[in-house]
Structure 1
Amino acid sequence: NINYEIIIIDDNSPDGTLEIATQLQKLYGEDRILLRPRAGKLGLGTAYIHGIQHATGDFIFILDADMSHHPKFMPQMIALQQSKNLDVVTGTRYAGNG
């Protein structure tokens, strides 16, 4: 029962990312999967900004395509934010419990 949207930013990658994302959009709907492709490789930082500019939710999670940030921690991060009314919650894969 979570209201969510997934924003996919593709910098014209040659690996078929946009095609796969389009299939996911057909499966889950345009209201859930938002495709925001860009014309070329403009950099990771600007891709984050591009995605944030299109976000409409109360929470924003930035997950890279290589899954270096595991989504299983999202519920914990939301709970922490809500329990302490935090503006930002962040984690790291370089520390034991992130």
Structure 2
Amino acid sequence: MKKLSVIIPCYNEEKTIIQLLSKIETVNLAENTSKEIIIINDCSTDSSEKLIRNFIALHSELSIKYFKTDNNKGKGASIQMGIANATGDFVIIQDADLEYDPEEYNLLLKPILDGFADVVYGSRFMGSKPHRILFFWHTIGNKFLTFLSNMVTNLNLTDMETCYKMFNSSIIKNISLKEKRFGFEPEVTAKMVRFPNIRIYEVGISYYGRTYADGKKISWKDGFHAIFCIIKYGLFKAK
């Protein structure tokens, strides 16, 4: 029996966290694959804590690990905590909002279970699945960061900034991650290519994007920091 560890960083997601957890609960993974859910509450100031604990109490049959930080450390720090506590054969990152659909875990799992991939990225910019139409400059920024990342890593990804990244645990647990906030995406991409003979795949996924009024948190400042991370970890190969 294989196991998928779903890592969920959560900061002030009271509007969506229960709906997300309910979706994950009902996902039927590929044959002979179970799941564990790892929630990292990054010191939320809304009712996320209460909602999560109530959900756990009502779903004792699920394999759920719950952690809460003493102060707001950032998405990257939450992911690092999740990876350290993951016991699955595979790991996927799942934002606590509803921009990405857990029903598509099997799309990312298939190339790994079939023996072709070690890492699979879910791309919002390929395939025929539904995508909400939102911000022009945000899309241009994502594509520019992917282009810049590809230049220094010699990959041909279409969506480096995607949340949906699935790793073989033997890969992700052996990457020394430093970035505490939104620099996780370019850092992990730059560092994973250093593994000899690593096999990286992409699959098209849905994207139900949200606006800043809905609670979207990433900003133009994070874009500039991503450029810094691409140069630092990709071009100069910082550890």
| Bin of the TM-score, shorter chain as denominator length | 0.7 to 0.9
Per the alignment, residue 39 of structure 2 pairs with 8
Query: Percent same amino acid at aligned positions?
Result: 33
Aligned to 1:42: 73
Which protein has the bigger strand share?
2
| Alpha-carbon separation, structure 1, partners of 2:38 and 2:121 | 19
Deviation at 1:31, TM superposition (A): 5.7
Distance 1:30 1:43, change over 3 A: farther
How has the CA–CA distance of structure 1 residues 37 and 30 changed in structure 2, closer, same or farther, with 3 Å as cutoff?
farther
- What does residue 51 of structure 2 align with? 20
Greater CA drift, 48-57 or 66-75: 66-75
**Selected match of 2:113 from 50, 67, 82:** 82
- The 1:2/1:87 distance shift into structure 2, 3 A limit, reads closer
Matched, 1:33 2:94: no
Runs of 4+ in 1 over 2 A off after TM superposition: none
Aligned Cα root-mean-square deviation (Å): 1.8
Report how far residue 30 of structure 1 moved.
7.6
Q: Which has the larger radius of gyration?
A: 2
Distance of aligned partners of 1:36 and 1:60 in 2 relative to their CA distance in 1, 3 Å threshold? same
Does the 8 Å contact 1:4/1:57 carry over to 2? yes
Q: Are 1:66 and 2:97 counterparts?
A: yes
**Which structure 1 residue ranges, 5 or more long, are not aligned?**
none
Corresponding residue to 2:86 among 55, 59, 62 = 55
Which whole-Å CA distance do the structure 2 matches of 1:77 and 1:61 have between them?
9
- Please report the TM-score for the alignment, with normalisation by the length of structure 1: 0.86
Q: What are the superposed Cα offsets for residues 2-40 of structure 1, whole Å, 9 maximum, x if unpaired?
A: 422111101111121121111111122286121111111
* TM-score (norm: length of structure 2): 0.38
Matched, 1:96 2:126: yes
Q: Is the 8 A contact 1:25 1:32 kept in 2?
A: no
More off after superposition, 8-17 vs 21-30? 21-30
